[in-house]
Structure 1
Amino acid sequence: MNQRRLPWLTAVLLGLSALASAQDRVKPEGSGKPMLADVIDIAPWGHIGPEGQPVGVYVSLFKRLSDLSACPLEQRLTPIPRAVTEVTRNVAQATIMLDRADLNAGAVEVGEVTRLQIEVWLPNGSKLRSLDDLVGKTVGVLRGPTYHEAFDRDPRIKKIPVTSPINQLEMLSKGRLDAAIGVRENFISAMGSASLRFETFASPIVLEQRKVKLWVSPSMRDTPCAVRLAKALTEVRRNGEVDKMLRDIISYSPGESLKAK
């Protein structure tokens, strides 16, 4: 080979190598597959649809972020504790859920998605009106989420693990719980699925609004996809797409009887 061409050929090879290295950082290490996005397995955020595929608000949002960022994201329904573990350990590359200290410490925050209302739902006729009224009462809680610091840390409240918002509301309606804590949209979605009526429940105790965030795994830090996902998230928030997803998914609208007093 002509030795005068060697420097040019070397430069080309080094450039291709750098490009391949940058592309590899966008994907899971050693894999040509799309990045894995863990979607929490709680309706209306993530659940199995009529055709056997994941559907829900966060599934739709991940699809939109994938399109806008040109970073392929494969959605997988996952329990909350597992999603936290797998994103912080680089098994999955992204997740969306309520703000959590363990994810803030072990993963990379991309940005705020929205804010959701935390409420305590009560059976019809209940006289409970504040967090203090829950002392000594039995409250149904989901496994995994943390909803309200004062509630979570109060040992005087009897917290009973329940598998889903539907179970929470069914147990409330049957008198097996004094209250249930969770996200308002969880309960509204569950009520529609279980064919329950608003009249079955008293006005909820409204606690606070909590941030929902998008995180990526530590291996995604400073990668091109992390930057593009942040820009895509900013865009869908700015143009109102996230709010529209919430309105479209949750079609069972609250009535006057459930407005906080």
Structure 2
Amino acid sequence: MKMKVVRLFAMLAILLALPGQALGEPLKIATILGPPWGFMGSDGQPTGMMYEIGNRIAEVAGLRYTNSLVPCPLSVIPYPRTGADIENGSADVIIRFGNDQMTRGAVPAGVVVSMPVILVDPSGKNYSKLSELHGKTVGVVRTSKYVEQFDTDKAIQKYPVNDYVTMAKILAMRRLDAGVGSSMGLFYGAYMGGVKPEDIGVPLVLGSNDFILFISKKTAKPETTRALKEALDKLSASGEIKQIMSKYSKSFSLPQR
């Protein structure tokens, strides 16, 4: 009898040491809809850079998670909705750029990757500084924040689009004066949209921004947050995040300024 009690307490101690989601509801990961972050592959299954990285963070953290589309908890959803889902707690985790909504509703657990933020114009324009875009229309992914000097420049008219594929296509049709975004997002979006390299001008680097692992303040638990941070550190140190990113790196081999 005494041995059974000891075993019972030992099992209880092990269970209490596990992250919260390991015992209760699975971790709800939201992934941005739009190549290369999250999209439907040729096999009809969700895939993408941040989709894969999010899954691996949860796996290394030892957390149960779901990996199917809406209405299941792990979903590939439009970029503007990810902020709302994190803020109201219908999603637990997202990897994306920060903005005011993420500051209000999420806890940053760590930087997943830093990416250059570039300005790309239709071929032949070749803007060399932001002031040349005053009074012109520049495409941005809806609700995104890129770099302060661009975000706060009210003389530039921002035209919101849902994803980089759309932005690249509109640029190639010369219906925008320029587009701004992460280098990998813009180039992969152009690749997926069938845009030819000669239709896109030479990129101008505006700065850089961080893709951050955000955890909803509504659902964050200390033990889960700690497990996710440790998993992110392990994946960064091992080089696995860079390996995943390399699968989605598409370049137009454009000349540099």
TM-score after normalising by structure 2: 0.86
Q: Please state if 1:71 is matched with 2:83.
A: no
Matches within 5 A, 1:213-252: 213-218=212-217, 219-223=219-223, 225-250=224-249, 252=250
Point out the more displaced range, 108-117 or 186-195: 186-195
In 2, Cα distance between the equivalents of 1:129 and 1:78? 34
How far is the alpha carbon of 1:44 from its aligned partner?
A: 0.2
SS in 1 for 2:185: helix
Matches within 5 A, 1:68-217: 68-74=60-66, 75-217=74-216
How far is the alpha carbon of 1:118 from its aligned partner?
A: 0.7
In 2, Cα distance between the equivalents of 1:88 and 1:105? 7
Name the CA shift for 1:244/1:48 in 2 (closer, same or farther; >3 Å): same
In 2, Cα distance between the equivalents of 1:103 and 1:168? 23
| Unpaired runs of at least 5, structure 1 | none
Point out the more displaced range, 169-178 or 111-120: 169-178
Report the structure number with the largest CA radius of gyration.
1
| Unpaired runs of at least 5, structure 2 | 67-73
Check whether the contact 1:25–1:220 (CA below 8 A) recurs between aligned residues.
no
Picking from 247, 251, 254, the partner of 2:252 is 254
Q: Please state if 1:34 is matched with 2:26.
A: yes
Amino acid in structure 1 at the alignment position of 2:27: M
How far is the alpha carbon of 1:17 from its aligned partner?
A: 7.8
How far is the alpha carbon of 1:41 from its aligned partner?
A: 0.8
What percent of counterpart residues are identical?
26
Name the CA shift for 1:102/1:14 in 2 (closer, same or farther; >3 Å): farther
How far is the alpha carbon of 1:80 from its aligned partner?
A: 2.4
Name the CA shift for 1:246/1:158 in 2 (closer, same or farther; >3 Å): same
Q: How many residues align?
A: 248
SS in 2 for 1:35: coil
In 1, Cα distance between the equivalents of 2:59 and 2:91? 19
Point out the more displaced range, 173-182 or 16-25: 16-25
In 2, Cα distance between the equivalents of 1:238 and 1:142? 30
Check whether the contact 1:141–1:159 (CA below 8 A) recurs between aligned residues.
yes
In 1, Cα distance between the equivalents of 2:172 and 2:80? 28
TM-score after normalising by structure 1: 0.84
How far is the alpha carbon of 1:158 from its aligned partner?
A: 1.5
In 1, Cα distance between the equivalents of 2:98 and 2:244? 20
In 1, Cα distance between the equivalents of 2:130 and 2:221? 39
User: What is the Cα-based RMSD across aligned positions, in Å?
Assistant: 2.6
In 1, Cα distance between the equivalents of 2:9 and 2:90? 30
How far is the alpha carbon of 1:253 from its aligned partner?
A: 2.4
